[in-house]
Amino acid sequence: MDPFAFVQHASPLTLAVLASLLGGLVATTVGALPALVVGHLSPRVANAMLAFAAGVMLAATVFSLLLPGLALAEPLFGSPRAGALAVVAAMFAGGLAMSAVHRLLPHEHFLKGHEGPARERLARVWLLVLAIAVHNFPEGLSMGVGAASGDATIGLGVTLGIGLQNLPEGLAVAMSLVGLGYSRAQALGVAALTGSVELLGGLAGAGLLAISQALLPVALAFAAGTMLFVISDEVIPETHRTGFGDTATAALFVGFGLMFFLDVALG
């Protein structure tokens, strides 16, 4: 079936659910499956995989969210400058929202350690799950907004980009949990659980556009802001804490370049 024809006839909610399921739950689970048989993942390789994911996320943020949002905002707000200001404001709002979530929600990163309020009543695995969920919700939000936009190019670009980066990220998360002593089945289950969070984000994105399609450029920019915060505050710093900064930088370039090429090819 022609995906562009399907987009024209499917409801925004259906598109958002499908996008977040495929790009989130399915991609993360498929990416984590090798954890059932892979004996060991070296720190350098795991680090490179996360950096590659960061590069893909960064390109998707710019080319599949911010630039389409700007193109839609210019006629809506009457001029390129007004449209750019609206997009920047919405992007900042998304970043501030994620910053608030980070401050209010207890969570723990594999290397960075604990963040947020006190954690006495939560086991470490659940703190790790919360950290990954905070990471994944903006991705689901982006896919939901993109898919519910009705523009197949935007929706497919965002979903492909996030699904692509979820493949290595799913494996890196699962292998990290195995390294902490969890069974391979448990690690796969936790990785799949974190991927399912993106469905909630997708529903939230579709809900924004259900209020009014006029919110589309602002919603795209808001989602971009949440993604940019995660990339800058979480993913990139994590990839430079293990002493493999050169490898991480190279992998980020590869991920960014691949997503840039795919975005042009899809357009």
> Which pTM does this prediction carry?
0.83
d(CA 85, CA 63): 18
- Going by C-alpha positions, the residue among 70, 63, 68 that lies closest to residue 86 is 70
Of the chain, the percentage scoring pLDDT greater than 90 comes to 30
d(CA 189, CA 69): 35
Q: In Å, how far are 24, 60, 83, 166, 255 from 66, measured between CA atoms? A: 21, 9, 11, 20, 18
Q: What is the average pLDDT score of the chain?
A: 83
Q: For residue 185, how many other CB atoms are within 10 A of its CB?
A: 10
Whole-number pLDDT of residue 150: 78
Residue 28 pLDDT exceeds 80: yes
pLDDT in tens, 80-122: 999 999 999 999 999 999 888 877 776 555 445 555 555 555 4
- Per the CB < 8 A criterion, the answer to whether 42 and 36 are in contact is no
pLDDT in tens, 47-68: 888 899 899 999 999 998 999 9
Q: How sure is the predictor about 193, in pLDDT bands with cuts at 50, 70 and 90? A: confident
d(CA 157, CA 60): 7
Max Cα distance, the chain (Å): 58
d(CA 133, CA 153): 27
- The residue ranges of every structural domain in the chain are 11-33+42-266
Q: How sure is the predictor about 10, in pLDDT bands with cuts at 50, 70 and 90? A: confident
The angle at the Cα of 208, spanning 204 to 164, to the nearest 5 degrees, equals: 55
Residue 73 pLDDT exceeds 90: yes
d(CA 241, CA 255): 19
pLDDT in tens, 208-236: 888 877 889 999 999 999 999 988 888 88
Helix intervals (H) in 105-151? 124-148
SS3 114: strand
Whole-number pLDDT of residue 135: 76
d(CA 249, CA 227): 19
Tokens of 36: 């059932």
